[in-house]
Amino acid sequence: MGFRQVAVSSLLFESNILNHPRLRRYTALVHEDLTQTYSRDVQKWLLLAPIVGIATGLVTSAITILILQISWAQILPFYLSHHWSIIPGLLVGFVLTGLIMQFRTPDPDEHSTEEIIRSYHENQGDIDTRPFFWKLLAAVTTVGCGGSAALEDRAFTEAPRSDRGHG
């Protein structure tokens, strides 16, 4: 714990408010709980958080460049000059995505957010990182061939204008 955290917690726990007879027996438990919570490798996380953030930004930038400047720079002009090729191109992307998800990931129906939540509750936070590369590649093939990035796409979530209520 840093000097300020120790000073603040000692001032808080030495104040007259927390020395009230009804609260006194809980003060030690709360103090112990807070000490354990805030002393867990704070320095390690202050070092790792920026590194993980920078690495994530670089990977995201690389994927954006891959999709927009390499894949779509070649696919979009072809799609625009050969309209008939849009649906077969989408189907190829979706088949590639389906094959990757089916044969390279342990559970193709489980998605990243669900995996994180399940690993937190069931595996003490241990995450199997092996399927992430394949899921990332599946996302690149989906978007790179013209598919939507997720179900959150506007086409899936917004109702047609005639179905919206007025008023």
Please indicate, yes or no, if residue 154 is contained in any of the structural domains: no
State residue 154's pLDDT score.
43
Same domain, 28 and 57: no
State residue 155's pLDDT score.
41
Same domain, 111 and 33: no
Tokens coding 101: 């998800």
Please indicate, yes or no, if residue 160 is contained in any of the structural domains: no
State residue 84's pLDDT score.
93
Tokens coding 151: 């179900």
Q: CA of 62: how far to CAs of 1, 71, 77, 88, 129, in Å?
A: 37, 12, 22, 27, 19
Query: Can you give the residue range of the structural domain that contains 16?
Result: 3-38
Please indicate, yes or no, if residue 112 is contained in any of the structural domains: yes
List the chain residues with pLDDT less than 50. Answer: 1-3, 152-167
State residue 128's pLDDT score.
77
Please indicate, yes or no, if residue 162 is contained in any of the structural domains: no
Q: What is the pTM of this model?
A: 0.56
Same domain, 65 and 123: yes
Same domain, 56 and 137: yes
The span from the CA of 44 to the CA of 114, in Å, is 26
State residue 57's pLDDT score.
93
